[in-house]
């Protein structure tokens, strides 16, 4: 790739370009508000200390950036590499699917890997049913934050991320002209697995404080691994529904001794995401706190789900018991 081409801009009508850039700036402001307010987790989990020295390199560019990169300046490969101090992943150019999401294990007081390079997701892929992203790439890098967007006929995809030792915030947002839903398939890395969190099962149904009200403890599916006692995460949907997996039948014992049936595979989850909805993940304490689901929002969403350290964190057992780990698909 010729670095001189990276500053080139796609031939976009000025009003259209202004609208798209406004959308990207709104997303970055929204992302910053989420992280600063402790969205979906304790304030300590979202502390800027976990992001110290972080920042992404994308297409050879580092923050600050606010530009559109022409489609013919994206290079010959099939992926856009995103490399940070703490987080790395690749983006498929044509779909904005994610591959090889990894925590680097770089030293930080809020590290959740135990200082070990830790693959998290093998892939997080949307099925666009024949639609392809073909336009230029809108890129905004601000300190540790990334917003990247690309359009094609009938389709827009946006990815937001933050480079933090505890995973930071990550989400993908599809928008289709036909307003239909998009199937996302998440595949964990080989060393990671989904599990039914026993700490939540033992408190399931309890009423616990949440901000200035209360919330009922639900069952909780998390993902973890065998070698990092602080490594934990969960899928984080907004206007998205998980599909049951009939080939992965798990019998999980509840606090009453009864068995609950959980149709969820050990490495795979599938989600139907509304146009304008979001599919992401949260990690660390954010993944094991008790809070209500995200609000329903698909247009001009604001940071209303603010926790500010006012939720109950239940944690997770480590080592994770075999009986809590969800099964691989049956033949």
- Would you list the domain boundaries of the chain? 3-241+266-292+299-324
**What pLDDT score does 326 carry?**
97
| pLDDT score, position 321 | 97
Q: How many residues does the chain have?
A: 331
Q: Which two tokens stand for residue 246?
A: 């009939």
- What is residue 118's predicted lDDT score, i.e. its pLDDT? 98
User: What pLDDT is recorded for position 155?
Assistant: 98
At residue 168, the pLDDT reads 82
Predicted pLDDT at 330 = 63
- Closest alpha carbon to 17 in 149, 142, 173: 149
Which of 183, 190, 272 lies closest to 227 in space, CA to CA?
190
Distance CA 276, CA 240 (A): 10
Low-confidence ranges of the chain (pLDDT < 70): 1-47, 297-309, 330-331
* pLDDT single digits (tens) 273-298: 999 999 999 999 999 999 988 777 66
Closest by CA to 9, choosing from 72, 73, 93, 68, is: 68
Rounded CA-CA distance 133/169 in Å is 24
- What's the pLDDT at 169? 87
Q: What pLDDT was estimated at residue 305?
A: 42
Give every CB contact of residue 30 below 8 A, 6+ residues apart in sequence.
Answer: 301, 302, 303
- pLDDT attached to residue 4: 31
Extended strands (E) in 128-197: 137-142, 145-152, 155-162, 170-176, 182-188, 192-196
SS3 call for 38? coil
What is the pTM (predicted TM-score) of this model? 0.84
| Residue corresponding to tokens 């007081």 | 109
Kind and range of the H or E element at 200? helix 198-201
For residues 281 and 208, the answer to whether their CB atoms sit within 8 Å is no
């Amino acid at each position: 790739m010729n670095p001189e081409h990276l500053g080139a801009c796609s031939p976009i009508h000025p009003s259209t370009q202004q609208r798209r850039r406004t959308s990207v700036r709104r997303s970055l402001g929204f992302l910053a508000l989420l992280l600063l307010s402790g969205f979906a987790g304790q304030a300590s989990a979202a502390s800027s200390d976990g992001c110290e020295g972080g920042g992404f390199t994308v297409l050879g560019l580092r923050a600050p950036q606010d530009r559109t990169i022409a489609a013919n300046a994206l290079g010959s490969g099939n992926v856009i590499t995103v490399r940070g101090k703490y987080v790395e992943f690749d983006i498929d150019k044509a779909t904005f699917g994610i591959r090889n999401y990894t925590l680097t294990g770089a030293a930080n007081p809020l590290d959740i890997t135990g200082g070990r390079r830790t693959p998290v997701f093998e892939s997080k892929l949307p099925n666009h049913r024949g639609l392809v992203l073909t336009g230029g790439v809108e890129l905004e890098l601000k300190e540790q934050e990334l917003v990247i967007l690309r359009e094609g006929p009938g389709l827009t995809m946006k990815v937001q991320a933050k480079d933090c030792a505890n995973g930071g915030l990550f989400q993908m947002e599809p928008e289709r002209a036909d307003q239909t839903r998009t199937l996302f398939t998440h595949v964990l890395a080989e060393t990671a697995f989904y599990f039914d969190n026993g700490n939540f099962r033992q408190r399931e149904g309890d009423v616990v404080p949440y901000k200035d009200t209360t919330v009922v403890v639900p069952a909780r599916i998390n993902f973890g691994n065998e070698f990092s006692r602080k490594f934990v995460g969960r899928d984080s949907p907004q206007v998205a529904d998980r599909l049951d997996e009939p080939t992965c039948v798990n019998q999980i014992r509840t606090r009453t001794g009864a068995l609950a049936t959980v149709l969820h595979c050990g490495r795979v989850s599938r989600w139907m995401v509304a146009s304008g909805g979001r599919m992401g993940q949260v990690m660390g304490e954010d993944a094991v706190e008790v809070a209500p689901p995200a609000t329903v929002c698909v247009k001009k969403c604001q940071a209303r789900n603010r926790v500010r350290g006012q939720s109950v964190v239940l944690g997770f057992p480590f080592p994770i018991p075999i009986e809590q780990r969800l099964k691989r698909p049956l033949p």
